[in-house]
Amino acid sequence: MCFDISPAYLSCKKKQPFVSLGLLLLLVVFFSPPSAYSSSMELRENNSPLSLSEILKRAVYQNELMTKAMLGMQYQEKIEIQKLDYSGNPLKTDRLEFLVRPGEGFLLSADPRSGTLAMRKLSTQEIQKAQAANMVSDYLSLKNLLPRFALSYEGMGNWHGLSSYIIRFDPKPNQPYQSKIEKLINSIQGKLWISNEDFSVLYVEGRLPKPVDMAWFIAVVDKLDVHYHARKEKDICGHLPSFFDLEYRLKYLLGQTHVRQVISMKDFKLPLPIGGD
């Protein structure tokens, strides 16, 4: 269940390795450079209420800006992977902490059965090559994720003192998919908290309302809980990723895989100007 990117492998478009859900979320949500977004943000006129479509359009735009900006920042990242028993008690824990510099990304390969970890440092160009080789997909970017779900506006709320729009998402019946990962993603329900100030995604919670068959009756995901937090960093506009928590349980004929992956990010810094200390 490891995801390997070697120079030779990058040139091969036919191989389709299995990518763990935690790895896919890590790579796409935090490290994938976004494509250009054609619509511009317009100021709200006369403080009139925004439609759901307008809220989402602005959130997608802000998410694209944030993802692209992160490739030019330096920050500390910590990754923790726990192998759990059926009840969720830790059996084995691995921790990694490192500094991400501007233009870098880190690819985490994990085998949740053994709890082993491997890490590779990637440049922006290598990440783009991986995308071009169809080794990673951007279907978890906000602009591609939202159309997969039935969306509804639940009103204004408050998240840690910040005014926010609350958007509910539910699975669409008979939503098409091209992989087991997409099938699993399509089955999640939950809510988004979107900042009323800058339209950053502040918080996400998601879960599986019912088990999902991954290989007929042989393998079933019966638990998937996702939580994402953002935080406003000092001297940096917008809210940046702070905490990502994913727990999933895959049951199969001869056993199960129960894993929790926690990613925390902090100390974001803009690159120093030429000649800066």
Question: Among 29-43, 101-115, 215-229, which is the least confidently predicted range?
Answer: 29-43
pLDDT band at 181 (very low <50, low <70, confident <90, very high): confident
**Per-residue model confidence (pLDDT) at position 48:** 55
User: What is the pTM for the complete model shown?
Assistant: 0.75
The full length of the chain comes to 277
Cα 214 from Cα 260, distance rounded (Å):
19
84: which strand partners? 90
**Per-residue model confidence (pLDDT) at position 105:** 65
Average pLDDT over the chain, rounded to whole?
Answer: 75
Share of the chain above pLDDT 90, in %: 40
Cβ proximity of 180 and 214 under 8 Å? yes
Neighbours of 273 (CB within 10 A): 6
Cα 118 from Cα 151, distance rounded (Å):
37
Question: In Å, how far are 59, 101, 138, 207, 213 from 277, measured between CA atoms?
Answer: 35, 16, 36, 46, 55
